[in-house]
Structure 1
Amino acid sequence: MTVSTNSTVKQKLMSGALAGVLMTTIGVAAPMAAMTQSANAAAADNMVAAKRLNSLLTNTKSMTANFTQTTKGAKNGTFKGTMNVQRPNRFRWETKSPSEQLIVANGNALWVYDKDLEQVTKQKVDNQVGNTPALLLSGDPSKIDKNFKITQPYNSKNYYVLYPKSGDASFKSLSVSFSGGKPVMMVLNDSLGQTTSIKFNNIKLNPSISSSQFKFTPPKGVDVINQ
């Protein structure tokens, strides 16, 4: 059955897998590694920060990892699962515990499948570019500074805080930390005052990923919401 609704995909992301509740990521609750740095540490200017982040993301052509996502605020929760991203604009974000949800983007469409609700939401990827953490990792690095104000609070640390320029973004701010050239943590603050931290482990940078990971066909009998 196909139905229409005014609810948005980003709301699905924020209340589902990519935000435990929300979607995630980052008012800004900085990773502890950054919080322990001297308050007097020099910050990079915005242009330098954007260039450095662009370089790190450009080197991330594909990535697989396990994630633990914890949300604190009006709704608390911890979710675990796996993720795969590949440029351009392909990602698979699968929450496996304590509930199941699958988010898949193949470059054209973005699917959000809530198994418990027997519901699938579909939206064009273009409408969400720059608004979600997963697309930050899979999108075009050269366009990031068009969608975000990029800051680097500590000049010597690969820790960045991004503020969406779009007024309808699903979060207020997003921080991302890198270690060894790999994104290891993202933190988001949403408009509801919730903070979601996503920690990545078992990270594999630039692996070969089967194209089947980014394909999705709605199961028979589920409601399909086109947006």
Structure 2
Amino acid sequence: MSKSNTMKAFGLSLCLGASAALGVGAAMLPSVAIAAPASQQTAIKNLNNLLSATNSMTANFTQTTRAGKKTTNYSGTMAVQRQNQFRWQTKSPAEQLIVANGSTMWVYDPDLNQVIKQSTNNQVGDSPAILLSGDPAKIANSFNVSQPNSKKNYFKLTPKSSNAGFNELYISFNGGKPVQMIVTDVAGQQTTIRFSNISVNKRINASQFNFTAPRGAEVISQ
């Protein structure tokens, strides 16, 4: 996976451009065959309730991306805070930093000493990032939501826009906390993100969501 795939895991195909075909869903949802699904209205309500209970979140993450027979693993840390603030820092095996403060997003590649800067106004709405950092009440505006098992807190989302950059997203909760996301992008690449050491609803310093380009770095505005 190229470094930009960290961004693709969140579906911001700018360059998040920050991941499930039937096989992915089956792996994640082992009891779907015998469980009754929730109605779409109930699924939206349940997902909104869970997301609304998470105003901020910090965690470690591991990311596994499968493209054909190739599998690539990444790890790092993340922080999100409503509204539309997030920090996604990949530390291994290569470094990359994505920061958004609600209006501007920066993508910094230390190896290239390059920063991509752009407005998030037209990027976040149809992306997985909005689930953890955006307005939960607006999720249904951008996604079709289903809950395959009405007794379990996992949800399938498909974007309504053809420009979303991904086809399907699964998000799973445990103890009210988001613990896993699985995304399939438009090229069929499948990304699984698992969160650990999760902390929710603690105030995060605003400095975590601002970025100043290092001296000498090339800055590309898009």
* TM-score, reference length from structure 2: 0.90
Deviations 1:182-217 (A, max 9, x none): 000000001111110000000001112111100101
Tell whether 2:124 aligns with 1:129.
yes
Q: How many pairs were matched up?
A: 215
Q: Is the alpha carbon distance of 1:94 and 1:209 closer, same or farther for their aligned partners in structure 2, counting shifts above 3 Å?
A: same
Instruction: Say whether residues 1:149 and 2:144 are aligned partners.
Output: yes
Cα contact 1:26–1:171 (8 A) shared by 2: no
Q: Does 1:224 align with 2:222?
A: no
Counterpart for residue 68 of structure 1: 62
Letter in 2 for 1:15: N
Q: Distance in 2 between matches of 1:81 and 1:20?
A: 14
User: 1:3-42, aligned counterparts within 5 Å?
Assistant: 15-17=5-7, 19=9, 25-28=19-22, 29-30=24-25, 32=27, 34-42=28-36
Deviation (angstroms), 1:115: 1.2
Pairing 1:179-198 to 2, within 5 Å after superposition: 179-198=174-193
Cα gap change, 1:76/1:19 in structure 2, threshold over 3 Å: closer, same or farther?
Answer: farther
Preserved CA contact (<8 Å) 1:130 1:136: no
C-alpha displacement of 1:18: 5.1
The answer for the alignment partner of 1:160 in structure 2 is 155
**Secondary structure of the equivalent of 1:70?**
strand
The corresponding residue for 1:8 is: none
Kept in 2: contact 1:26–1:197 (CA 8 A): no
Confirm or deny: 8 A CA contact 1:67 1:81 kept in the other structure. Answer: yes
Letter matched to residue 209 of structure 2: F
Q: In structure 1, how many angstroms separate the alpha carbons of the residues matched to 2:32 and 2:53?
A: 29
Identity %: 51
Looking at structure 1, the residues matched to 71 and 166 of structure 2 have their Cα atoms a distance apart, in angstroms, of 17
Alpha-carbon distance in structure 2 between the residues aligned to 1:31 and 1:210: 39
Question: Shift of the alpha carbon at 1:133?
Answer: 2.3
Correspondent of 1:120 among 111, 115, 122: 115
**Gaps (5+ residues) in structure 2?**
none
Q: 2-side partners of 1:89 and 1:207: how far apart?
A: 16
CA distance in 2, matches of 1:193, 1:45: 28
Measure, in 1, the Cα distance between the counterparts of 2:50 and 2:107.
Answer: 28
- The answer to which structure, 1 or 2, has the higher relative contact order (CA under 8 A, 6+ apart) is 1
- Give the Cα–Cα distance (whole angstroms) in 1 for the partners of residues 132 and 4 of structure 2: 17
Q: Is the CA contact 1:13–1:19 (under 8 Å) kept in the aligned structure 2?
A: no
On the 8 A contact 2:183/2:191 being kept in 1, the answer is yes
Find the partner of 2:74 among 59, 76, 79.
79
SS at match of 1:53: helix
Closer, same or farther: CA 114–135 of 1 in aligned 2, 3 Å: farther
Query: Equivalent residue of 2:43, what SS?
Result: helix
Could you tell me which residue of structure 1 aligns to residue 44 of structure 2?
50
Contact 2:86–2:99, Cα closer than 8 Å, also in 1: yes
Residue 31 of structure 1 deviates from its aligned partner by 7.5
- CA separation in 2, counterparts of 1:142 and 1:54? 6
Question: Would the aligned equivalents of 1:14 and 1:170 in 2 still touch at CA under 8 Å?
Answer: no
Letter in 1 for 2:5: S
